[in-house]
Amino acid sequence: MLRDGWRRRWWRPDPQALAVYAALRPMVVVTGGSEGIGYELARRFAKGGHPVMLVARRPGPLEEAAARIRAAYGVEAIAVPADVTAPGAIAAIDAVLAANGAYADVLVNSAGIGLAGPFHAQPEEDLTRLIDLNVRALTQLTRHYLPAMRLRGRGGILNLASLGGYTPGPYQAAYYASKAYVISLTEAIAAETAGEGVRACALAPGPVDTAWHERAGAETALYREVVPPASAASVARAGYLGYLVGLRVVVPGLFNPFFALALKIIPHRIMVPFIAWLLRPRGTKPTDA
């Protein structure tokens, strides 16, 4: 296709290097794949006929998610119980790929956590965990698998970001900052790899109907009452289609793209107090920020 040729316009194959992959098959690796958006993205790729590897910390839900995908779509779905922030996690993923005669054709970085409440009140260990998962692990996984994608002239990275990445987020400060990093990193990689056959896409949804809000401690924030959440399935569908057509950032929903534009052009002096009003958990004084 002309589009594929244009996407690979600067790619020059190295037959000797590519010979390593001749006997291997492509696989989609999804972190945070046991539930929520990660699971729905894995399901989308599986529906498209791609074998998937699901990576998450809890073995039980992970195995169940993989079994559901196998039963629904008849494709291979491998469960790899692993904490991607732990030393040796990438080596463990590589070992399972090698054992199954596969390579990471697409990496979906969906694993992530949030924290709600005043920044100064967050336990240091929770902040470290958030940065390790949302930023460090995502960066290391991307850096590890991207060079081989460029060598093969195919595949790509789909990173789960957030609409919150376009603005500072009082009362979810570290989370919003981590998603700003994800958007920035992904767009930069997309520019660096343009014409090499590799896609890099950030999926930036607004609130989504998952367990994330409860786990982050954000259930009492005003936005949970006034902003209707999207379903994880609809967000995954938009992200999958946007990735396929080569978009660098996907903001799902009818109104969210306009909200993203507003976050870009309205001065922070005006926008950030409004965001703080939406995100502040009830029972927290405004002066606590």
> Which CATH code fits 2-9+26-288?
3.40.50.720
Query: What pLDDT does 10 receive?
Result: 96
Closest CA relative to residue 235, chosen from 216, 218, 220, 256: 256
Beta pairing, strands 102-109 & 156-160: parallel
Decide if 176 is catalytic: no
From the candidates 39, 166, 171, 175, which is the catalytic residue?
A: 175
Closest CA relative to residue 175, chosen from 227, 228, 223, 212: 212
pLDDT along the chain (289 residues), means of 10: 86 95 97 98 98 98 98 98 98 98 98 98 98 98 98 98 98 98 98 98 98 95 95 98 98 96 97 97 60
- Please state the pTM of the whole predicted model: 0.96
Helix (H) or strand (E) holding 29: strand 25-31
For the chain, domain boundaries:
2-9+26-288
Query: What pLDDT does 288 receive?
Result: 39
Sheet holding 52-56, edge to edge: 77-81, 52-56, 25-31, 102-109, 156-160, 199-203, 249-250
